[in-house]
Structure 1
């Protein structure tokens, strides 16, 4: 940080981002959560593909999508990354460090923007790496009876890339929920409700009519598929819906932060 910034007490985005990067990498939970995400997704992907069998009927071959199978571990990855996003925000309130953060950077929206940029960028890189590693390792685990998907096949590359981006989006949703709630258990409960509980309840009550708009359903049936799934959102529409979730969570969090005391 520059001496001018210290002298005037004014910090710009670059200073805020640097501060957030230092805090993020100093947290033990960051490394452990990302490591578990990588190991868990790759392991689940390999095990799932090793147990994938070739479709026996013509109708089954039409809907067979090994690319979707290999990304099965995203259900675990989203929980870990989303929880990390929550903790990144609520941990500052629990420890009291939010006071020193806001004393240095009174613009609370700038603080949240810097957190989102740093955390989102890190998780996006990790998400893309784990998505491609999972795809390659899982494809290699297929039996000889099952044709392995290729990144050159129709929509496969798009499915892998958007699956990696999905992790970053869920992480940012978790960050936004943390800013809204400021309490870890409450924010985690909201995250689990949005990603797991509500999709199951609405699917049981209304089928795909409502459930298809929830993040987990979008990940498993829209952005992470190479073969279209009936009655679900198209891939890019699903991606756009996820962007709206991110904007809503972070926007609400920023609005509440600007109106609360530390």
Structure 2
């Protein structure tokens, strides 16, 4: 290949950015994630009764409860970014243009991660500020400058993004959209429950660092009791993401397209 026509890192990132935003699934999944987060957060604020059954909940956990649904939409998008190309055959064109293969995976992860973090962070801020209009004067009233609020908002957006990156890696590993979504749900919901049934006292501590449990530790203004600290939870999600991408890169080098 001539040097003049060699695909640069910038060109590869631009290509992945173009592919991400020119498919309807990106807009649909992100709109679903935003709608769930914002809609449920506003509903929580509008229906909240001072001193009611939710009064003991952390203000960010209550406000961002929609993340429980949004994380599935974000994960589906992550899977589609990688496994979707195997489904529609576009992966052959991508690997032909970039024979080293792994730069394609890194570029997908970088573009997806940057876009997802920006959107989830903006959505988190808007949801918190809007919900606070309704929480004003109640025991859930809070401000951005209060202890743990900004850290929780940033951590929630970062955690949700990293869950999506894990799903992206699983998509590249499994190369099947349904299979990767099933693997992601199993990792989030099923495997931790299975491990907690084992007759070992350390299992509860181990499960605290699994993706769903780590994300729950980030999605709060005040650290949870008997859970990983926010710093440790964020680090565990970074490591889960790194392992997911590293395994995907290893198999990408060893398997035919």
Matches within 5 A, 1:126-205: 126-142=119-135, 144-203=137-196
2:14 is aligned to: 18
Secondary structure at the residue paired with 2:171? Answer: helix
Residue 73 of structure 2 is matched in structure 1 by 80
Give the alignment's TM-score, normalised by structure 1. 0.89
Residue 40 (1) aligns with residue 40 (2): no
1:156 deviates by 0.8
Which structure 2 segments of 5+ residues have no match? none
**Map 1:81-100 → 2, pairs under 5 A:** 81-100=74-93
Deviation at 1:5, TM superposition (A): 3.9
1:6-44 deviations in Å (ceiling 9; x for gaps): 2xxx32211111111111111100011111111110111
Matched with 1:117 is 110
Supply the RMSD in Å over aligned alpha carbons: 2.2
Partner residue in 1 for 2:220: 225
- Label 1:5 to 1:44 Cα distance change in 2 as closer, same or farther (>3 A): farther
CA distance in 2, matches of 1:168, 1:228: 20
Q: CA offset at residue 49 of structure 1?
A: 3.1
> Which range moves more in the overlay, 141-150 or 15-24?
141-150
Equivalent residue for 1:213?
209
CA contact (8 A) 2:160 2:215 kept: no
User: What is the TM-score when the length of structure 2 is the normalising length?
Assistant: 0.91
Q: Does 145-154 or 116-125 show the bigger shift?
A: 145-154
Q: 2:249 pairs with 251, 254, 260, which one?
A: 254
Between 116-125 and 134-143, report the one with greater CA deviation: 134-143
Tell me if the contact between 1:177 and 1:190 (Cα under 8 Å) persists in the aligned partners.
yes
> What is the CA-CA distance between 1:202 and the residue it aligns to?
4.1
1:176/1:114 CA distance change after superposition, 3 Å: same
Paired residues of 1:195 and 1:214 also in contact (CA < 8 A): yes
Secondary structure at the counterpart of residue 254 of structure 2: coil
Task: State the shift of 1:102 in Å.
Answer: 0.7
How far apart, CA to CA, are the structure 1 residues paired with 2:197 and 2:117?
A: 32
Which residue, 10, 16, 23 being the options, matches 1:27? 23
1:112-161 CA-to-partner distances (Å, cap 9, x unmatched) read 01111111110010010111111111222226333411110111110011
